[in-house]
A and B are shown apart, each in its own frame.
Chain A
Amino acid sequence: IAGITQAPTSQILAAGRRMTLRCTQDMRHNAMYWYRQDLGLGLRLIHYSNTAGTTGKGEVPDGYSVSRANTDDFPLTLASAVPSQTSVYFCASSASGLVTDTQYFGPGTRLTVL
């Protein structure tokens, strides 16, 4: 059982380029999340999806977009990357989206924007 997989593991990207971070889960969880982790700031929620076909904005959504075409996949797109988007990005999922649910995290994608 893989749980949550993220791709790529790491990426160096030129500013202005478009980039999609991939996230796939095999647990049939309804809810999925994207966080960014920055030193000294902890994790901040970018976007979330409580079920396939719906998405919502988190704390820091600007410059990012998501889609949830099916239960398993939740890609995060940076339309035009900027250096401030240099971060480690974590995808997570939970069974139902209830606030008491445990969230399961992927291994992360380290993104550097130059």
Chain B
Amino acid sequence: AQSVTQLGSHVSVSEGALVLLRCNYSSSVPPYLFWYVQYPNQGLQLLLKYTSAATLVKGINGFEAEFKKSETSFHLTKPSAHMSDAAEYFCAVTIASGNTPLVFGKGTRLSVIA
């Protein structure tokens, strides 16, 4: 079965600093990986996804993530944090075969300090 582990339930950065949210996956077959963001009192929305094309994936709002098979990682980064980036971020994994549902990580709450 697939799983993801998000390291750090809460990350705090200063405005303008690098954002790095960590996600490691476990899968016996090549995975598809996703990052979703949840702003306060809202549903989730897709930031970006890796579906076996380019390993460096660019998403919305300046975020990107790199699929590293050797490290089983799919960390999310943004060069310069904005106050509006404060939210909960979820990494998720699935695989190509059948109707395997998305498996979400437990989430990382990002705080941005002025």
Contact = CB atoms under 8 A, between A and B. Distances in A.
A40 B9 contact: yes
Interface residues of A, number: 26
B45 interface: yes
A106 B43 contact: yes
A74 interface: no
A99 B104 contact: no
B42 interface: yes
20 contacts: A40-B106, A42-B107, A43-B90, A45-B101, A45-B102, A50-B99, A59-B103, A90-B44, A92-B44, A99-B99, A99-B102, A100-B32, A103-B44, A103-B102, A105-B43, A105-B44, A105-B45, A107-B41, A107-B42, A107-B43
Among all A-B residue pairs, the 7 with the closest Cβ atoms: A105-B43, A42-B106, A43-B104, A42-B104, A99-B94, A105-B44, A100-B51
